[in-house]
């Protein structure tokens, strides 16, 4: 499990995180020396750079935890559901807790077709009627650009 964090990609990531933290702490020290030399604005930066370094540490720790959790041997892996029959909950293996099973993911609905019989109440406003025709055309031609509109 730990060996996965020693691949070239992860070693490069560890090195980048270490360089970022060391650089930010070095900048904090530099700003502190400027602040004690009389530059009042540098006091803010003196405290800001360690906060940035802490943020890098938190994000990196989160990514390491995700990778360890992803490859934990006691966690069952299941393929992503590709059909409604596959979207039923995965039964947990004998002896495992229900929390160890992966959650059921539902498909995201991004667009709904508007029935042709939908009548808009725009007869009294010609601008609204033109805009509704434009929106209906865009809905009927999802791959078209707005500049392709013939109206």
Residues 6+ apart with CB under 8 A from 135: none
Provide the pLDDT for residue 112: 66
| Sequence-ordered list of residues with C-beta below 8 angstroms from that of 43, at least 6 positions apart, any chain | 31, 35
**Separation CA 4–CA 75 (nearest Å):** 16
- What pLDDT is stored for residue 94 in this prediction? 55
Domain regions of the chain by residue span: 2-70, 114-151
**How high is the pLDDT of residue 48?**
95
* Burial bucket for residue 27 (CB in 10 Å: 0-12, 13-18, 19+): middle
At CA 105, angle to CA 100 and CA 107, rounded to 5? 175
pLDDT of residue 34: 93
What are φ and ψ of residue 97, in 5° steps?
-85, 155
Residue with tokens 């540098």: 42
- pLDDT average per 10 residues of sequence, the chain (151 residues): 77 93 96 92 92 95 87 58 51 54 71 63 81 86 84 75
Compute how many other C-beta atoms are within 10 angstroms of the C-beta atom of residue 56.
17
Residue 100: predicted pLDDT: 54
């Amino acid at each position: 499990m730990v060996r996965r964090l020693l691949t070239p990609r992860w070693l490069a990531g560890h090195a980048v995180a270490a360089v970022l933290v060391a650089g930010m702490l070095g900048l904090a020290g530099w700003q502190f020396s400027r602040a004690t030399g009389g530059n009042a604005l540098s006091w803010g930066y003196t405290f800001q750079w360690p906060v940035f370094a802490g943020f890098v540490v938190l994000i990196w720790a989160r990514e390491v935890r995700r990778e360890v959790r992803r490859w934990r041997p006691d966690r069952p892996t299941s393929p992503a559901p590709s059909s409604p029959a596959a979207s039923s909950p995965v039964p947990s293996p004998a002896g495992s807790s229900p929390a160890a099973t992966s959650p059921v993911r539902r498909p995201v609905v991004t667009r709904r077709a508007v029935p042709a019989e939908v009548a808009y109440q725009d007869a009294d406003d010609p601008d609204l009627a033109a805009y509704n025709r434009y929106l209906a055309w865009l809905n009927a031609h999802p791959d078209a650009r707005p500049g392709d509109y013939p109206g």
